[in-house]
A = this chain, B = another copy of it.
């Protein structure tokens, strides 16, 4: 990493054999959709500092594993889910004092899951729960460490990923209706999408979704049952739905 080794570039304290020691952790922002609302999985801290406060799940990176591997392991330990496909790194955080105990640099990962509700219920419900992302963004809920900023960055990232990758399909089940998929976009971008136009964009013979032939059960109010689809293979080339310029500008202005 060091490049030139002139005296001004390598003071004694930064000799490679005596580098400053850091703890490296991996924090995972686990997102899911519940009732057309974007939620984040938080755990309650059992010890100081920030004892009793809610935080993002995470843990130390081990020397013999990669960062991606550490994130995958933490996700599995917290939820039991082995979802390596949708685990993307979005940032590193190393402000001095962010952990009062020691020098910690953490790497943030974004995970998108479905059916986390059942998973959380399976664990001890007292120290793991789903919270609306809006509660974190508008500071209704205060988080430990700098986790508020980390969650905020994760949301910014998922908003972009939604436009350029197939991350939307990770929020829904293996089969889904177009209305379900549409609520994902609407909840994450905070916009209203015309159902007809959405359908035309997604079903446009490009292989975004594949009809399964099945039909969903209508809601309690009746209505025509929606067709069931499964994700196609075209999502790796950028998603079919794009934000309107007005909407994007709003987000930046926000």
Contact = CB atoms under 8 A, between A and B. Distances in A.
Interface of A: 1-5, 8-9, 14, 16, 19-25, 27, 43-47, 55, 57-67, 77-78, 89, 91-96, 99, 101-107, 127-128, 145, 160, 164, 236-238, 245, 248-249, 252-253
Which of A60, A67, A236: most chain B Cβ within 10 A? A60
B20 A20 contact: no
B21 A23 contact: yes
Q: Name the 9 nearest CB pairs between A and B, nearest first.
A: A1-B25, A21-B21, A3-B43, A19-B23, A92-B92, A67-B94, A22-B24, A92-B107, A1-B58
Contacts of A128: 4
Given A5-B47, A9-B59, A236-B252, A22 B25 contact: no
B249 A78 contact: no
Nearest to A90: B91
A164 to B, nearest CB: 8
B105 A2 contact: no
Contacts of A67: 92-95, 105
A2 B60 contact: yes
A190 to B, nearest CB: 17
Contact of A20 (B60, B93, B101): B60
